[in-house]
């Protein structure tokens, strides 16, 4: 049926996976970010890198939107 059942102990890890996926991290990145040896600084760098990627995407979409608005005028 596509449903999966998780134990109570698995829920924190599942929530972390879902949060990271929601932030746009790929499965490979999520796997690396779930590594128990990951330091807080490494996590911070990954989040800062993701923020920069999202900001670049927003700028590109804003330029595209300006082009559409120009064509509409």
Report d(CA 66, CA 32) in Å as an integer. Answer: 37
Q: 10-44 pLDDT, tens per residue? A: 999 999 999 999 999 999 999 999 988 889 999 99
The region of weakest confidence among 9-13, 52-56, 65-69 is 9-13
Report d(CA 64, CA 2) in Å as an integer. Answer: 38
pTM over 0.95: no
How much of the chain, in percent, has pLDDT values that exceed 90? 86
Give residue 37's pLDDT: 87
How much of the chain, in percent, has pLDDT values that exceed 70? 100
11's tokens: 């829920």
How far the first Cα of the chain sits from its last, in Å, is 51
């Amino acid at each position: 049926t596509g449903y999966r059942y998780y134990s109570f102990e698995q829920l924190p890890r599942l929530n972390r996976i879902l949060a990271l996926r929601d932030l746009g991290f790929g499965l490979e990145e999520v796997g690396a970010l779930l590594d128990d040896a990951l330091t807080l600084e490494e996590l911070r760098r990954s989040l800062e890198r993701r923020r920069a990627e999202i900001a670049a995407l927003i700028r590109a979409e804003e330029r595209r939107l300006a082009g559409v608005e120009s064509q509409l005028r």
